[in-house]
Chain A
Amino acid sequence: MNDNFGPKPWHQTNWDFRAAFNFIFGGAGAGLLVAAAISGGTGNALRIEILLGLALIGAGLVSVWFEIGRPLRAMNVGFNPFTSWMTRESYVAGLVFVLGLAAAWFDSQPLALAAALGALAFAYCQGRILQGAKGIPAWRVPALIWLIFTTALAEGAGLFVALAALLDAPARGVLAYISLALIARALAWSIYRGSVAKGTVRAALVRLERAGKILVQFGTIAPLALVLVAWLAPEVARIALLLAGLAVIATGWQFKFVLITRAAYNQGFALPHLPVRGTR
């Protein structure tokens, strides 16, 4: 039985860089809210981190708003909380904005923690949105949910330490967290890589493999080494953490960009049987 002689898969053209930016900015923003809450910071530092996180989430949503065909009907996105993760993402985004703004306004740690919980749910929704796209083999595998989730955490932690390095603010409290987030992301990539190999076309796998290699080498190993340097040598900690943070963010963003705009091949068509015509 020949089960693979349909017209070859081709790249989807429905979601472009504008959709990718929703996952890129939204994930990093959600991750920053989590890192900010975990750091236990207060005052202006907490405010800046929360507001930047919200701004990133907002930028992602605005970006995807530019992609939809009927932007004036955008509120209809909230009509299907029963089955649509896109609707759920929009609800959670609203909650995160309310809690985050309240945390910034009142300089409240408990509210920042509540916003972080919302941000975790937001990152999870983003993973589920992609996994719900059954027409794209590279997206529909369940392992992608955790890769999107962990890269959001890692990017947020990277953004946090980069900001801390720039502003010369303390960041030692989140070094263990960023290390764990990076290991979790690398693990999630490894699991995803194993599960996506079956059913995805070679062209997509080649692109994912390249992006994944960058994620591991420049987005995991190098930042972990830099974090270690920052831990052991306080005199170069600022530059080491700045580089580590930027590497974590850049590699996460490039991976998501590739995932959505370069590796999103559909599965084409395939016939499990050929028609039997005339004599047998």
Chain B
Amino acid sequence: MTRWAMVADLRRCVGCQTCTASCKQANATPPDVQWRRVLDMEVGEYPAVKRVFVPVGCMHCDDPPCMHVCPSTATKKRPDGIVTIDYDLCIGCSYCAVACPYQARYKTDRASFAYGKATPAEEQGYDPKRLAVATKCTFCVDRIDAGLAKGLTPGLDPEATPACVNACITQTLSFGDVEDPHSNVSQLLAENQTFRMHEELGTGPGFYYIWDKKDGETAT
């Protein structure tokens, strides 16, 4: 069984937001909508200050609260772990948005463009189906499915890999099948210490954060 997941190595991320830009370009999201965001956290007090950059978005949970609450069955989870939204079913009630502990969902009521009028690129990517309904990161599911149909391996072959992962300049982001012990992400998880966001809520996020080597000392 396949379980697609993303791994972010927090030691590598420099907060360049290239993944954010790449996601916006690939998915044509409107202004103020960032399916892949990078949080810029400042920790501690001067002079002992650290900055941490944390990529976030839909965590494609094992037990997604957004799916359970959705009254229209627009939100579903595929057998490979990807959580999807059917824009033709969604009524835009935003119940999923308040149910998501990761603030990953957006609703845009009106068409909006970066410079008022749509640029040619925005025109090309504009999808009226996405207006007034819930939207979120899809793990670039179309790329994955198209790539798999061609016999490619998501996470290894760029054509079958989410845009944010392809764009990452520091190889912070990795994507692959965590059920395959030989996959790139399984190896990363085996070699490093990781956590998942708000794990105590029991949602089982499909997004892992690396923070140290497995045999290393822990940070304070």
Distance (whole angstroms) from the CB of B39 to the closest CB of chain A: 6
Task: Name the residue on B nearest A276 (C-beta).
Answer: B212
**A132 close to B72 (CB less than 8 A):** no
Taking the complex as formed, is B203 at the interface, i.e. its CB lies under 8 A from any CB of chain A?
Answer: yes
Distance (whole angstroms) from the CB of A138 to the closest CB of chain B: 11
Contacts A77-B93, A275-B11 known; A5 to B43 CB distance under 8 Å? yes
Residues of B within 8 A of A280 (CB): 216-217
Q: How large is the interface on B (under 10, 10 to 19, 20 to 34, 35 or more residues)?
A: 35 or more
Residues of B within 8 A of A129 (CB): 69, 95
Taking the complex as formed, is A229 at the interface, i.e. its CB lies under 8 A from any CB of chain B?
Answer: no
Stretch at the interface among B22-30, B153-161, B194-202: B194-202
Cα separation A272 to B203 with both chains bound (whole Å):
16
Stretch at the interface among A28-36, A80-88, A237-245: A80-88
Stretch at the interface among B49-57, B113-121, B139-147: B49-57
Task: Name the residue on A nearest B217 (C-beta).
Answer: A280
Taking the complex as formed, is A68 at the interface, i.e. its CB lies under 8 A from any CB of chain B?
Answer: yes
Residues of A within 8 A of B199 (CB): 272
**A6 close to B91 (CB less than 8 A):** no
Q: How large is the interface on A (under 10, 10 to 19, 20 to 34, 35 or more residues)?
A: 35 or more
Cα separation A70 to B128 with both chains bound (whole Å):
12
Distance (whole angstroms) from the CB of A196 to the closest CB of chain B: 16
Contacts A2-B43, A70-B133, A267-B198 known; A277 to B11 CB distance under 8 Å? yes
**B97 close to A12 (CB less than 8 A):** yes
**B91 close to A77 (CB less than 8 A):** yes
Taking the complex as formed, is B126 at the interface, i.e. its CB lies under 8 A from any CB of chain A?
Answer: no
**A134 close to B94 (CB less than 8 A):** no
**A14 close to B11 (CB less than 8 A):** no
Closest 6 CB pairs of A and B: A69-B92, A69-B132, A275-B10, A14-B94, A76-B72, A86-B71
| 16 contacting pairs across A/B (C-beta < 8 A) | A5-B41, A6-B54, A14-B97, A70-B132, A76-B71, A76-B89, A132-B65, A132-B69, A135-B97, A135-B100, A135-B103, A271-B211, A275-B210, A276-B212, A276-B213, A277-B11
Interface residues of B (CB under 8 A from A): 9-11, 39, 41, 43, 50, 52, 54, 56, 65, 67-74, 89-95, 97-103, 107, 109, 131-133, 193, 195, 197-199, 201, 203, 209-213, 216-219
Assuming A70-B91, A76-B74, A274-B10, what are 13 further A-B pairs, CB within 8 angstroms?
A15-B94, A64-B93, A69-B91, A83-B68, A84-B68, A133-B95, A134-B101, A135-B98, A273-B211, A275-B52, A276-B211, A276-B219, A280-B217
